[in-house]
Amino acid sequence: MQAQFSVLSEEEVRKIHSLSLEVLKEVGAKFTSKKALKILEDSGALVDWDNCIARIPEDMVNESLKTASKFYTLGARNRVNDFALPSQHTGYILDGMATFMKDFKTGERREAIEKDLADSFKICEELDLCKLVWPNVTVHDFPVNSTCIRTFLSSFKYISKHIQDELHHPSEVPFLIEGLTAILGSEDAIKERKICSVTYCTVPPLVHEDHMTDAYLELVQYHIPILSLPMCACGSTGPASLYSNIAVSNAEALSSLVLFQMAEPGTPQIFGFAVGNTDFSRGSFLTGSPEMALMNSALCQMAKHYGIPTTQSACATDACDAGPQAVIEKMVTNLPAVLNGVDMIVGFGGLETSNIVALDQIVVDHEIAQLCKRIKDGVDVCDEKKYFEDVKKAEPGGHFLMSPGTIKACRSDEFMVPDLSVRLPYENWLELGKPDIYDRARDKVSDILSAPRKNPLTDDVIGTLDEIMIKADKEL
């Protein structure tokens, strides 16, 4: 019996879907790509070419929901790490593209460099629930013109799990395909294995930027999965109620679905949501709030209603540093998502509204994920766990310390043993120097970073990727 949580009733799901359809039909979405507008117009949308607005009727949405792939696998360079969608258990993703890094040795907040990307990925290679990665930092020692390609291709050198990143311009597509071919051996293998996917960042509210759109319209021929990621914030880039912000965000995701399904029916797509709310005292975007958790969980429920694989922002915090606030907000935003059955959560390691990454926070977040998974797994009421004979033998006033069920249970996964939490008597805790979860997380990070990297690429493939990146430096 798994634990469950739903934000919306069936009637509320229908209301949000209806409002989303009304938005798409009456308001439409803005596509600054002429290629996208032509595809949509040819497929039945009413296009205002002067204002780049496409008004999308319900039948186009319905057709897109029929053709979108519902079951597929996000492959990994190491097949052991393949991740099938939809998933029985929530997988986790590193938070993405932070500007700053919390230096592991000094604790200072500084600009991120390539080594920070490599270290983060080395940690995630060791974490069971981390199923795929976003490049979690903006790498400041890469050339600006080729940063996207260098970040994407460098990621394959540092981890063997699935990589999800973004391209910003069609000119970057050939370099990505050349790199994937060097790793996999052929373009057919790119289509089959799906070892990477791309994040499609719409601009709230309801805008599709031309360069990214045109790049992904080229990628669909390679069957690379596309994650749409609306980020509407109540009261600023989204309307100021949870209900309406959910509906507009859902409409934005549906507009992405329609575009890529009309361009290439069967394109594997993921509905991702990273919506938030506005801090009305400062005008900033909040990710660690309970409202954020409610909206994203509701949107996950909409995606499940459509049968589309889901990703959402959770395990998130607005805290400026690791500590109690970060843990509280990450747990509050994460547990509803897990209980709601989301396929993937993005958020590992992020602090300060995803502006900073901390290596020890990645490990702490994995512990939060393990705790949430245990709650989601619920109570097993199978006959094997009945243990009536143990009760009968113990009799009233007895104990179960040596019962067969107890001996079996202490070696089972029914009782989670945390990696970091301190469960010691007070005196023992004092003797060990009052350790907390962050002390233990730092020890684990140190152990991982000092060990050899697992599942490395061959030197020949690394050399080829380096050559592609040098060429991108010169040509992009």
pLDDT tens over the chain, length 476 residues: 788 889 999 999 999 999 999 999 999 999 999 999 999 999 999 999 999 999 999 999 999 999 999 999 999 999 999 999 999 999 999 998 899 999 999 999 999 999 999 999 999 999 999 999 999 999 999 999 999 999 999 999 999 999 999 999 999 999 999 999 999 999 999 999 999 999 999 999 999 999 999 999 999 999 999 999 999 999 999 999 999 999 999 999 999 999 999 999 999 999 999 999 999 999 999 999 999 999 999 999 999 999 999 999 999 999 999 999 999 999 999 999 999 999 999 999 999 999 999 999 999 999 999 999 999 999 999 999 999 999 999 999 999 999 999 988 888 889 999 999 999 999 999 999 999 999 999 999 999 999 999 999 999 999 999 999 999 999 99
CB 134, CB 165: distance < 8 Å = yes
Structure tokens at 179: 């790199």
Q: Report pLDDT for 410.
A: 85
Measured CA to CA, the distance from residue 401 to residue 457 in angstroms comes to 50
Q: Report pLDDT for 259.
A: 98
Q: At what angle do helices 242-263 and 10-22 cross, to 10 degrees?
A: 60
Q: Which residues pair with 31 in a beta bridge?
A: 208
CB 5, CB 336: distance < 8 Å = yes
Q: Report pLDDT for 3.
A: 85
Torsion, Cα 312 314 320 325, to 10 degrees, reads 170
Q: Report pLDDT for 2.
A: 85
